[in-house]
Amino acid sequence: MRYDFGLNTDIFETNILNLAVVLRIVVTNIVDALRSLLEQRQQIILSLFIEVDQKVNSARQQLVEAREAVDTAKILTNDINIKATETVKKVNIEIQVRLDEEIRVLRTAFSQSIQLEVYQHSQAISQRVITNALTIAKNILTLEFRKDTNTWKQKELNKAYIRTLLKYGLIYNL
């Protein structure tokens, strides 16, 4: 067996060798390219995982903060409801007290108004009765005076007339 350097003209023998060399080069290059692509893909996926993990942590933190805010809001709304209820009760009590006072004032005013009306009507009736009594007394005195010219009788009737006027306050004590 001789190993010389030269040209081998046997197509089958040279093709297999050429194919092996080409396949070795292609496989090496493809494996390197695939390895490079897979490493890049792995780096992208890892960075995506890291980014997603950060977003999940951020979302969890925001969820915790939101829950705390909701709890705080619930506490505040309960406080506001309690204060509003207390305020409504106080206002209702104040309104009831004012209403009771106003009703009392109105009843007093109504009672006084009725008493004033009764007093005015009784005064008017008394005045009419007095006026009628005085008119009757005057008429009686006039008749008696005409009948009897006796001065003693006239003096007695005049005294009775004056007493009647004093009694009903039509003239004051002199």
**Helix, strand or coil for residue 26?**
helix
Q: Given this model, what pLDDT does residue 97 score?
A: 94
Q: CA 7: distance to chain centroid?
A: 106
Domain residue limits, the chain: 11-167
pTM to 2 decimal places: 0.42
Can you read off the two tokens belonging to residue 158?
């005049």
Per-residue pLDDT of 73-112, as tens digits, reads: 999 999 999 999 999 999 999 999 999 999 999 999 999 9
Q: Given this model, what pLDDT does residue 174 score?
A: 46
State the pLDDT confidence band at 1, using cuts at 50, 70 and 90.
very low
* Packed helices 11-147 and 151-167: angle between N→C axes, nearest 10 degrees: 170
Helices (H) and strands (E) in the chain, counts: 2, 0
Per-residue pLDDT of 35-83, as tens digits, reads: 899 999 999 999 999 999 999 999 999 999 999 999 999 999 999 999 9
Cβ distance 135 to 104 under 8 Å?
Answer: no
